[in-house]
């Protein structure tokens, strides 16, 4: 349907161009879609798409996914296996920069964002759509992992890493999508793309602008059955990323309670202070990690946590649906409530 509409619009433009001299060559935004990173990645271009670009993007995403997945036999999955079996592992060069950036975010967030909680994520079954549970794990199992877990915050990132216990597992579900988006944006720029948006299931980063105006995006309402899909919108400029974390993304309901995929590393439980958290920053990787930290922090600790992470633009919807908007963000967004 969308393609038909774009096609009709194109015909209309072409017809108009023939009628008027010189021909109008107004660029049209073109979309390409790839399923990757567990979501639909949409690339929109306000320019012609260079040949061979999409195969290169697909290949980069596929390599990235293998490298950072906790399943299969990619670098992170193997590292986790070695830690489980031998208690330590060599940290491959392919993972090191992601570990270093995430460690900084772990420390700056006071451990609210901590990829060292992989074993807890797995226990809850949020590592894989196919592992989803219908009821929470036993409290004793959660406690056991909490006591035996290591943190990325305190891990020494030498050539080998040795977490305090072999039950430590790493999961970068809260920052890898951001890292991937940064990488794809860099790849696009290196191939001459100057006006595009990379949108991974609502988390995005922008290059340039549309032909006639900035890119404009909507921030999803965490409870869309309230009648609205979008809670706010804003213009996003060259090099900026906007990432959200929400309790609506992966969850199950048990006895009328929602159990979602963002865990408080201090308790091992899904947090209950927020419905969604959105961060704008130039690094998509940091924006992704910070959105998760903001979600866990909740309204009372939001400002301090964001200050410590160096984030000035954020929006938090708390558990009661109240909006907490930072002063810098307030200058940028239009809310629809
Ligand atoms: P999404 O990837 O759905 O956009 P997030 O960026 O918040 O949402 O990442 C959530 C994922 O990160 C979870 O599925 C889990 O793998 C992992 N995770 C959950 N809680 C935390 C946490 N407190 N710190 C770091 N990683 C987390
Ligand atoms: Mg995140």
Measure the CA–CA gap between 100 and 192, rounded to whole angstroms.
Answer: 29
Predicted confidence at residue 128, as pLDDT, reads 81
Measure the CA–CA gap between 210 and 237, rounded to whole angstroms.
Answer: 10
Residues in contact with ligand 1 (CB, 6 Å cut-off): 113-115, 117, 121, 126, 171, 173-174, 177, 245, 249-250, 261-263, 265, 288, 292, 296
Protein residue with its CA nearest to atom 19 in ligand 1? 262
Helical pair 53-68 and 176-190, crossing angle rounded to 10 deg? 150
Structure tokens at 190: 């290196």
Closest ligand relative to 289 C-alpha: 2
Task: Give the Å distance between the CA of 314 and the centre of ligand 1.
Answer: 17
Predicted confidence at residue 170, as pLDDT, reads 98
Q: What is the pTM of this model?
A: 0.91
Predicted confidence at residue 335, as pLDDT, reads 85
Predicted confidence at residue 28, as pLDDT, reads 79
CA 149 to chain centre: 24
Pick from 32, 6, 30: which is nearest to 211 by CA?
30
Measure the CA–CA gap between 137 and 119, rounded to whole angstroms.
Answer: 12
Measure the CA–CA gap between 297 and 6, rounded to whole angstroms.
Answer: 43
Pick from 333, 332, 315: which is nearest to 324 by CA?
315
Predicted confidence at residue 133, as pLDDT, reads 86
Q: What phi and psi, each to the nearest 5 degrees, are found at residue 174?
A: -95, -5
Q: How far is CA 136 from CA 125, 147, 185, 268, in A?
A: 9, 18, 38, 11
Predicted confidence at residue 226, as pLDDT, reads 59
Predicted confidence at residue 316, as pLDDT, reads 98
Task: Give the Å distance between the CA of 173 and the centre of ligand 1.
Answer: 5
Residues of the chain with pLDDT under 50: 1-23
Task: Give the Å distance between the CA of 197 and the centre of ligand 1.
Answer: 23
pLDDT in tens, 65-113: 999 999 999 999 999 999 999 999 999 999 999 999 999 999 999 999 9
Q: What does 24-45 look like in DSSP terms, one character per residue?
A: P-----EEEEEEETTEEEEEEE
């Amino acid at each position: 349907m969308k393609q038909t509409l774009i096609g009709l619009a194109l015909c209309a433009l072409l017809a108009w161009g023939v009628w008027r001299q010189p021909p109008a060559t107004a660029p049209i935004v073109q979309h390409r879609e790839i399923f990757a990173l567990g979501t639909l990645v949409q690339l929109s271009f306000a320019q012609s798409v260079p040949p061979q670009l999409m195969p290169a993007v697909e290949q980069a995403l596929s390599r990235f996914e293998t490298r950072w997945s906790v399943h299969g036999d990619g670098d992170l999955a193997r590292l986790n296996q070695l830690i489980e079996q031998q208690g330590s592992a060599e940290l491959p060069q392919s993972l090191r920069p992601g570990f270093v950036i995430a460690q900084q975010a772990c420390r700056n967030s006071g451990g609210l964002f901590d990829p060292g909680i992989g074993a807890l994520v797995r226990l809850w079954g949020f590592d894989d759509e196919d592992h989803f549970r219908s009821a929470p794990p036993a409290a004793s199992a959660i406690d056991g992992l909490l006591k035996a877990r290591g943190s990325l915050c305190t891990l020494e990132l030498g050539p080998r890493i040795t977490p305090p216990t072999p039950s430590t597992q790493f999961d970068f579900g809260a920052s890898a999508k951001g890292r991937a988006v940064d990488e794809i944006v860099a790849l696009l720029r290196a191939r001459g793309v100057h006006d595009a948006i990379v949108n991974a299931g609502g988390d995005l980063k922008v290059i340039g602008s549309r032909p006639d105006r900035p890119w404009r995006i909507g921030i999803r309402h965490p409870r869309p059955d309230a009648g609205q899909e979008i809670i706010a919108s804003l213009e996003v400029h060259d090099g900026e990323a906007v990432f959200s974390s929400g309790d609506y993304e992966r969850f199950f309901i048990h006895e009328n309670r929602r159990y979602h995929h963002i865990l408080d590393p201090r308790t091992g439980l899904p947090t209950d202070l927020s419905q969604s958290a959105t961060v704008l920053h130039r690094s998509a990787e940091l924006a992704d990690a910070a959105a998760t930290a903001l979600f866990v922090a909740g309204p009372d600790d939001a400002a301090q946590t964001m200050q410590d992470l160096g984030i000035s633009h954020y929006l938090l919807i708390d558990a009661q649906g109240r909006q907490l908007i930072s002063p810098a963000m307030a200058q940028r967004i239009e809310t629809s409530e």
